[in-house]
Chain A
Amino acid sequence: MKKTDVIIIGAGPVGLFAVHQLGIKGLKAVVIDNLDKAGGQCIELYPDKPIYDIPAVPECTGEQLTSRLIEQIKPFNTEIFLNERVDEVRQEKNNWVVKTNNKNQFLAPNIIIAGGVGSFEPRKISLKEAEKLEGKSVFYAVKNKEQFKDKKISIFGGGDSALDWTLELSKFSNVTLIHRRNDFRGAQHTLSELRKLEKEGKVSIKTPCQIDSLDNENELKSITVKFDDGKTEKIKTDVILGFFGLIMKLGPIAEWGLNMDKKTIEVNSENFETNKKGIFAAGDICSYPGKLKLILSGFHEVALASVECFKRARPNEKYRFEFTTSSKTIKDRLGKK
């Protein structure tokens, strides 16, 4: 079990800035996020979209904001655990124990939940049979492509992931690409490569159509797809790969005994603590009278929460408010002269 001062759930802009606010107070933190990179919604939903309401930054993209925050917290050498979802939170005397789906465990007196709208998870095929076969013959990510060698694969989706895996897996498998409309969304060279493979008969493309049923008893043998005009077609299939993008799910957060208001966590606006001592919520996921879901509000929220985190992590020390411009201690922590 890893001990720290604060466990931050969510590596979006607010979770990252929390590292900074804790770090300048001399507190150690770890960050856990279910995505494969830091940045949260900024990086997953709108990496290229400009943001205009970050104070003193007239315009920046989600990606730029993220990379600047990462640079800003570099001096604190904080470990970010990616591809991990926090599944369990339990109390142990004055501390909290956090367990992830990757079996990592952390212990700290404080948790800051900066989880946005929840964790990003792949959108799945809504057929019951697909649920049963998930992990066996229905997948939403490729972890090891060897496992898909010499198979009949039906890939669903029209974006980059669907296209890239169609090209890649068609090298050693029989791939059918299925999409709900005729247009694909991908890089030009990927699209021309795809059309070339289709012409050569190496990839089969079915549009505009969607999955209708899986034909299986214990093992997937074929699927039936339905075209827009109502016609159906059976496709021999061993493996289904679905790339329908990511959705945000609140997930296990709802089960931690926190007072919730719909999909948000209730906090006080003095230190953004929840109804549980030592568990804080900040950013889009918290709610209090007058709450605005702005990145800048989240920055303010973690700044205040970090003070209470300090008091809980260092009960024998007195908290002293300091400015970064004048405090020698803070400058040392930032590695500045």
Chain B
Amino acid sequence: MPKITYKDYQGSSKTIEVESGLSVMEGAIQNEIPGIDADCGGSMACATCHVYVDDKWFEKIPKAQDAENDMIDMAFEPKKNSRLSCQIIVNDELDGLEVTTPEKQT
């Protein structure tokens, strides 16, 4: 199973195996990774699963759609490498992906 590393804003990190087909958000929720709220449950209707994708991975994952970028406008401290983790679907090619959760989501 692909391994995903979730780092928090203070630098501590946790690496877990996430089943292919699940989103990075679902991987976090199922494994009780703090820092991802996902208030809307993955329907791209809030921005509380916002993460920063590690630079070396940012170009490798499928690009965000307009609707996702519109939502990211409403996230806490968006940056150039911001994504909604509910929109990143895990597959074998993303084995090793690293994301960082923001200081807070709301």
Binding site for B on A (CB under 8 A): 41, 45-46, 49, 117, 123, 126, 157-159, 179-181, 183, 185, 210, 228, 244-249, 293
Whose C-beta in chain A lies nearest to the C-beta of B41? A293
Knowing A41-B40, A45-B40, A247-B106, the reply to whether A159 touches B45 (Cβ < 8 A) is no
Knowing A244-B74, A247-B74, A247-B106, the reply to whether A46 touches B43 (Cβ < 8 A) is yes
Most chain-B Cβ atoms within 10 A of its Cβ — which of A159, A180, A181, A183?
A180
Q: How large is the interface on B (under 10, 10 to 19, 20 to 34, 35 or more residues)?
A: 10 to 19
Q: Which of A123, A158, A159, A185 is within 8 Å of B76, CB to CB?
A: A123
Whose C-beta in chain A lies nearest to the C-beta of B46? A45
Contacts of B45 in A (CB 8 A): 41, 45-46, 49
A12 to B81, CA, bound (A): 34
Contacts of B73 in A (CB 8 A): 157-159, 179-181, 185, 244-245
- State whether the Cβ of B48 lies closer than 8 Å to any Cβ in chain A: yes
Knowing A123-B76, A180-B78, the reply to whether A248 touches B46 (Cβ < 8 A) is yes
Q: Is the CB–CB distance between B70 and A159 below 8 Å?
A: yes
Q: Is the CB–CB distance between A123 and B80 below 8 Å?
A: no
Binding site for A on B (CB under 8 A): 39-41, 43, 45-48, 66, 69-70, 73-74, 76-78, 80, 106
Q: Is the CB–CB distance between A126 and B74 below 8 Å?
A: no
A157 to B73, CA, bound (A): 7
Tell me, rounded to whole Å, the shortest Cβ–Cβ distance linking B46 to chain A. 6
Knowing A117-B39, A247-B106, the reply to whether A181 touches B46 (Cβ < 8 A) is no
Q: Which of B40, B70, B80 is within 8 Å of A185, CB to CB?
A: B70
Q: Which of B39, B40, B66 is within 8 Å of A183, CB to CB?
A: B66
Contacts of A158 in B (CB 8 A): 70, 73
A248 to B37, CA, bound (A): 11
Tell me, rounded to whole Å, the shortest Cβ–Cβ distance linking A185 to chain B. 5
A210 to B48, CA, bound (A): 19
Contacts of A123 in B (CB 8 A): 74, 76, 106
Whose C-beta in chain B lies nearest to the C-beta of A159? B73
A158 to B66, CA, bound (A): 12
Contacts of B76 in A (CB 8 A): 123, 126
